[in-house]
Structure 1
Amino acid sequence: MTFAVYLPLLLALPLALVARWVAGRGAPGPAAWTLTITAVVAAAASTWSLTMLALTMLDDVPPLSALDDSPTLELPEPVPGPIALIAGILLLVGGFQLLAEVRRRAVTHRALRAVGTVQNGMVVADWTRPMAVAVPGTPGRPGHLLVTTGLLRLLDATEREVLFAHEQAHLRHRHHRLTTATAAAAALNPLLIPVRDAVAYLVERWADEEAAAQVGDRRLTAAAVARAALAASGPGPATALGIDGGAVVRRVRALHQATPARLLRRLILPALLGTGLIAIAAVATEAFVDLARAWL
């Protein structure tokens, strides 16, 4: 097999390196979509490469193993056995991580949907802990907002408007699909974890920009995000306005600047990486098929 089979495993690294740079410039929406699609392509390509490498272990299984000692056949040598074994182990680990990620999200969403009865697209939970989250819908059941009284008491009327606009943006654009896709990609290929984190940041920035446009005041939106950050700074996951530690500083700074331009040229590099991964995977597949034909 050619060296091309290993490249999809390595090209996730440059994508991870440029993810934060892409996320920090221009409009967040196009960047979130581009990074998500590229991450899914990278995860699929690397998983397929591992699958092809692991399948070469079949040459050690009878009756194929008997062909190794055949003096009349000159069969191409597959990859070394240890590499194929490592590929198989990595496939299993990635599969378990993917199942764990899917299960974690399913359990979380199910618990959030069970909190209370939805009224006018919202559930207000009488909890002291400040929290606001967009709960994804299911077939036949639209998504809704979950807000706690602990958070509502901390925000004034205009800041509540920012809160509702922010969470509604998550529902309207189905941001959970982007974050779920990149989380699945990172489970299969840990090199994509920075891309997962970049997309999680971008969907929050996207919702911030939608909220700022709706209320017509970027500084008010920044103040609401900052106040929610302080409210959610205690122990436990921060789910008020998608607050995520140091990322809130970047978000507040962005809201104190002008509305970002699209800057589509920054997306050229991730798009080229995705295209290159597809081409390399095709070349590696062709080499694998040639190998399989020779053995079978």
Structure 2
Amino acid sequence: MRVEDKKRSLTVAPFKCAWGEEFRFVEAGRGCIAFEASAQNDVTLVFREQPGSQHYHYKMDSSRHYAVILGSHRNKRLKIEVDGRTVVDEAGVGLCRSSSFQSYWISIYDGLISIGQGRHPNNNVLFQWLDPDPNQNVQYVGLSSWDKHVGYRNISVLPSAPQNSIRWSQIEYAYAERHGEGGHAKNEESKDGCEQRVIADFLESLDFSDAMFVVGSERKVVPAHKIVLVASGEFDFISMSGTAIELPSFSYPVLHSLLEYIYTGSTQVSFDLFQMLLY
């Protein structure tokens, strides 16, 4: 492993792993790492309760941990493993690039693992998965590889927090602006730097999300907004604990059509899907 400046540039040799106090979450079970990587395949990050050694490899780890692999199977898959067991194996062609550095971020918050591209967490989300038995003690991040060298640079460990609650004032102002009705809100961006948008623009958006659906046996995470769901008259969050709504017998297309109708007022479905929505 060659290290020029751990914050700036780091090269991990095949089957090796880089650890350090600078790659540690401030709060156990909650944190985000943003970085750039250059590799042919298998950009691998490991999240553990304690740091490992340079010769550590997640395939030999018997302790509790998460492993996120970008560009698995010769740069064709995205994988998440929990304690050595594969829980996510999704198509992800071309996630890695050896000719240039690509920006990524991975966040963990109480078992919710979010993976995205770009330097800004919660933007350009590639995938989310919610652990039904979250490891609240993971704190150290290991930068690893498989059978090829992986270059890492511009590595930053950041706090991870749940999405802010959506504010009706933002939505009302966006509607007024779009329809030329004026309004009392000022013509400026919100404090969060987000442009004002109408409700339909928040469909399955992480922006201001404060609820989530966990769908099917694959446990796909779909973000939502309590204020919109409650306004539809079909959801009662007062009697619920937490923000996750488990729907193990639902398929994603069914949920998407339902949410599309709630957020936009219309949806298009096949006859078979329509029957599933009815029953």
Alignment TM-score > 0.5, same fold: no
Which of the two has higher C-alpha Rg?
Answer: 1
Give 1 or 2: higher strand fraction: 2
**TM-score, normalised relative to structure 2:** 0.26
**TM-score, normalised relative to structure 1:** 0.25
